[in-house]
Structure 1
């Protein structure tokens, strides 16, 4: 489904990288297309039924490439119309954006094109890796959007394209690895736009005079 994605190597021990770079990735699309389930698959390789996202949710996932580690900061944005005006606050500065639709609901495919127009106002072509994702491949028997239509839209607008299933996990790991390679390639040899991530030492919570504010009110995951 979609373009050929790289195989995921299992059991191999990657070379220890000299640095870890931060990658901001956002998931955009209508409510109910499975963005939260995709984010959970990306972050923890788990599936569970989720409630509609309020504002945003945030997970992380580390991906090892040959000579670098990328720490994905995955932002799952709310798809309800009432949150549309604040969503740009979450996807500004993103290195990768996934436009997600449900292959069994044609209106979500149309809505994905609206999100694309919004993104195109924010980014210079080539500055952000943008991927069209047809989710819920497990509902192929109820398909309302053909693979050819997805590929056609992606081709016309310069996007990459993949169909996935958050329920079964099909193409999830492959997609994340492909995005990691593309982001790293687009950043260039100097990693333009990718800052180095360094772990912050944990505060000693036993000390009463220590106060550490939360970096996000909706952070989930490691």
Structure 2
């Protein structure tokens, strides 16, 4: 979500209300130019693997490489061959045209892509090129947590049943709502739908775990 105009359709770095040098108020046209055209002839630089990123759909959503490419062109206000490649049902890799746009999109938290209303997380890959699988990033809801378990420490210790890594525990839902919203990294977010009996001290509770359609409020930046 943009902290300047409060619009969820773009990061703050690409906001039309962002003050620029010399009184300019739109930083996005800086990304336009012959070096962003889809053809690579005439001395234009070819895509570099050093500018590769991973886009993960947060919550419920379906997209194709063509949809993702159109969304990225709209987000960055450019025309570029992103080389979008699916790695799972909700994850794609792509190559950015330059380090500036890569930095903007990977440091903006969750981004809402406005053409198809998809909430996504864009991050730089941090895995070995020999890796054969990548963990998904997803928001889930946990229902049925007893008061004794309503703490971030307890939920993070439940990683084995929630996912490989608990990334964020939404503090507002933890304190005030029946269902607690948690962001996790997992092998397959589509399979995170179950009822699990968990014992706290000597008492057992049935926790219902399922995907969250989308973050119900802007998550904190990581």
TM-score normalised by L of structure 2: 0.22
Structure with the bigger percentage of strand: 2
Structure with the bigger percentage of helix: 1
Kindly name which structure, 1 or 2, has the bigger radius of gyration based on alpha carbons: 2
Q: Per chain length, whose mean CA-contact separation is higher, i.e. which structure has more relative contact order (CA < 8 Å, sep 6+)?
A: 1
TM-score normalised by L of structure 1: 0.22
